[in-house]
Structure 1
């Protein structure tokens, strides 16, 4: 393997690229791709504490990291370690035999047939959302906050059934604290021990304890009982040799499902509404499809196939605003990507946020155009030109659920309201997932008013 000089931003003499990565990492990634190509090395931090990581922006490189050579790229980096320590060793963070065992037990609960049974919970929460929005005096809501609330309620209802209200308050209070804590530690040049009684450590510990206590109480109360919500199905899941998840493993799965199952959907829905509110022609087309298919009844799982334009709207929103803006791995063997040698032990990141804007695959990449996702257009593109759910053997297990929930909820909203964007410029940030650093306000006008 011939070593190749790796291009990358020079940064400042003492701290490398730390300033631009701290101020606006997504902007820094886009600039690095524009100026240096598909494989870029960043260095950040002062001498002795300097971090170094490689970013891969091409679809071909993303496929290599996530799929064709997935065994050479593990979830051993700092961010996954911090998520694991705060939210347990569930499917998102587990590896090797732990992951294989969990996947075997959980996979049957995420087949298309099973996921379709969750549509009733989505319809129920969609109706509650429409009712709440109908009562807003000026019709202006923060789509980011509202969609986070909606998606959390939907996934919590699917997980906990009648215990949903008990869990919601603790999750709403705890997740923002833990998300910020994981983000800050994941990007910090020095991580103080979690056991030290710093204000941040104490606040995070309190949030963990509240969240764990609520989940543990619900799990303990369900012991020996049968129920058809997701928690009940998880508790009843058995492998071929009778293996099952114990109480701690159940909690770990629940916490990861709560995190991954609401933040990704919330991001997609919030930015779909944000984009439609600035593009009236596309909104009109989406609304007409929703009216035609849904009529005045609650949405059902079998409506998904009949809503191709709404699906394309969501996919285009996920192209421009992928919840997993960056996906990290650690190389365990020397490798070559795009003609560049990357050493074993290197932190390697693929970036849907950048790849989804790659000009070789996306003409006018900043333009909102759902027609990019016709079947013909999708078939003509590289498989990893669009990968908001990751890919390869660790692809998100909840892809179908996320699309089902997002499309049905968007249809229910557009059927009732015309949407106008208030905050046309939204500052973005990178935490565990993509986040809006400020409101994403939209104005809702009931149809016929």
Structure 2
């Protein structure tokens, strides 16, 4: 209960990747960490392991029946959304996304000039939120409403902690976080439903996600209902905004602890981007930046746990798993297995150097999941995250102002339990001090 994220990882390491039955009193799920077993659950036998059961009940209260569900709602949502998250589509919207990021980061100048500290999680969420909202809603949502949506989703993602740790607790029993969670869901609905109705009335052929969902038709040829569109928007928003923001929050303490990595990252961004702005044409040249992000995703994958429920009795690695049993897959744990990673607890971007990558099991590294349910936001992340990091580091040298260690919190997305405060030093001043 004190540190469940690292506890699962340590159990997986001690078991050497073997299937472990966790004894949590009334609740006894199976922890699956070996890449062979992960591949079986997520890909080769994925129809037997569904996103259902007690772990998903708390999430359904905000996500509804959507792209993160199962069955017909998932199939229809994926058919509509998949074309919107290809490399080609992301490239078409990248310029607008880069402009949004640049304008938002310029607002941080006041912190740098005054010496005031920023909350890394809060600012990463604010910057990513604006960029993602542009992708999802075009110009249909005001900045004020966008800034209501971000903290509401954040509250829902964090107030759900108790339910995630105690999924067997009946909903007739109020637990800490329930009131905040339901109020946050109300705010999300208050923002989204009017925007959906406006998008329907516009009948636009725009490329934003909400327009595509409003144009979509079900198997019967009828329009998709407002509730289905709302559920898909919330799911995509969480995957594209919350996950990216929380992942990037972990970057700053890692750079502080690894100054050689930081210096090499600064050098690349200074050489490629200069004083900015960062634009999509820079992204292919930011090779070391991508390596840093890949290693960041290895150590701190936003989706730290993927629960599944076995629908029929089967074997995983010689262990009999009965129908109805819960199976827990944790990228956080698998990414730390000694048998598949050398020095697994160390932050080393060189693991992902194109010329030196060792051959690894495909499912030893799966920050975006795998199989038919693989996250659609992968291409968006590898454009959005480098643009954001380059935009910040071409302008500032963030320095850590709070001492660690920083403990992962078992929220819907992996986030630090403690506040990460940063001081922003303008690049020119930082370079002058270095000289």
TM-score (normalised: structure 1)? 0.87
1:135 aligns to what SS in structure 2? helix
- Of 131, 134, 145, 1:167 maps to 145
Match of 1:307 in 2: 286
Q: Do the aligned partners of residues 442 and 344 (structure 1) sit closer, same or farther apart at CA in structure 2, a change above 3 Å counting?
A: same
State whether residues 13 and 337 of structure 2, in contact with CA within 8 Å, keep that contact through their aligned partners in structure 1: no
Instruction: Please state if 1:153 is matched with 2:133.
Output: no
- Of 160, 185, 192, 1:182 maps to 160
Partner deviation per Cα, 1:72-97 (whole Å, 9 max, x = no partner): 110012222221122321211x2122
Match of 2:40 in 1: 64
Match of 2:52 in 1: 76
Deviates more, 1:113-122 or 1:342-351: 113-122
Q: Do the aligned partners of residues 272 and 189 (structure 1) sit closer, same or farther apart at CA in structure 2, a change above 3 Å counting?
A: closer
**For 1:187 and 1:352, how far apart are their aligned partners in 2?**
18
**For 1:127 and 1:375, how far apart are their aligned partners in 2?**
29
1:375 aligns to what SS in structure 2? coil
State whether residues 275 and 395 of structure 2, in contact with CA within 8 Å, keep that contact through their aligned partners in structure 1: no
Q: Do the aligned partners of residues 408 and 342 (structure 1) sit closer, same or farther apart at CA in structure 2, a change above 3 Å counting?
A: same
TM-score (normalised: structure 2)? 0.90
Partner deviation per Cα, 1:337-371 (whole Å, 9 max, x = no partner): 23322222211111111111111121111211111
Q: Do the aligned partners of residues 200 and 360 (structure 1) sit closer, same or farther apart at CA in structure 2, a change above 3 Å counting?
A: closer
1:419 aligns to what SS in structure 2? strand
**For 2:70 and 2:116, how far apart are their aligned partners in 1?**
46
Partner deviation per Cα, 1:345-398 (whole Å, 9 max, x = no partner): 211111111111111121111211111012345461111111110001100011
Q: Do the aligned partners of residues 24 and 424 (structure 1) sit closer, same or farther apart at CA in structure 2, a change above 3 Å counting?
A: closer
2:23 aligns to what SS in structure 1? strand
Shift of 1:189: 5.7
Instruction: Please state if 1:284 is matched with 2:263.
Output: yes
Shift of 1:202: 4.4
Q: Do the aligned partners of residues 189 and 131 (structure 1) sit closer, same or farther apart at CA in structure 2, a change above 3 Å counting?
A: closer
State whether residues 390 and 396 of structure 1, in contact with CA within 8 Å, keep that contact through their aligned partners in structure 2: yes
Shift of 1:200: 5.2
For 1:31-70, what aligned pairs fall within 5 Å after superposition? 31-38=10-17, 39-45=19-25, 50-70=26-46
For 1:225-264, what aligned pairs fall within 5 Å after superposition? 225=202, 226=204, 227-238=206-217, 242=221, 244-264=223-243
**For 1:173 and 1:148, how far apart are their aligned partners in 2?**
9
1:384 aligns to what SS in structure 2? helix
Q: Which runs of 5+ in 1 are unaligned?
A: 1-21
State whether residues 55 and 167 of structure 2, in contact with CA within 8 Å, keep that contact through their aligned partners in structure 1: no
Q: Do the aligned partners of residues 301 and 313 (structure 1) sit closer, same or farther apart at CA in structure 2, a change above 3 Å counting?
A: same
Instruction: Please state if 1:408 is matched with 2:387.
Output: yes
**For 1:101 and 1:160, how far apart are their aligned partners in 2?**
20
- Aligned pair count reads 422
**For 1:321 and 1:199, how far apart are their aligned partners in 2?**
26
RMSD of aligned residue pairs (Cα, Å)? 2.3
State whether residues 5 and 409 of structure 2, in contact with CA within 8 Å, keep that contact through their aligned partners in structure 1: yes
Q: Do the aligned partners of residues 118 and 274 (structure 1) sit closer, same or farther apart at CA in structure 2, a change above 3 Å counting?
A: farther
Shift of 1:166: 4.0
2:388 aligns to what SS in structure 1? helix
Partner deviation per Cα, 1:283-317 (whole Å, 9 max, x = no partner): 22212222222234433334322211101101111
Instruction: Please state if 1:125 is matched with 2:100.
Output: yes
Q: Which runs of 5+ in 2 are unaligned?
A: 430-435
- Of 77, 83, 89, 1:108 maps to 83
**For 1:210 and 1:376, how far apart are their aligned partners in 2?**
48
Q: Do the aligned partners of residues 166 and 276 (structure 1) sit closer, same or farther apart at CA in structure 2, a change above 3 Å counting?
A: same
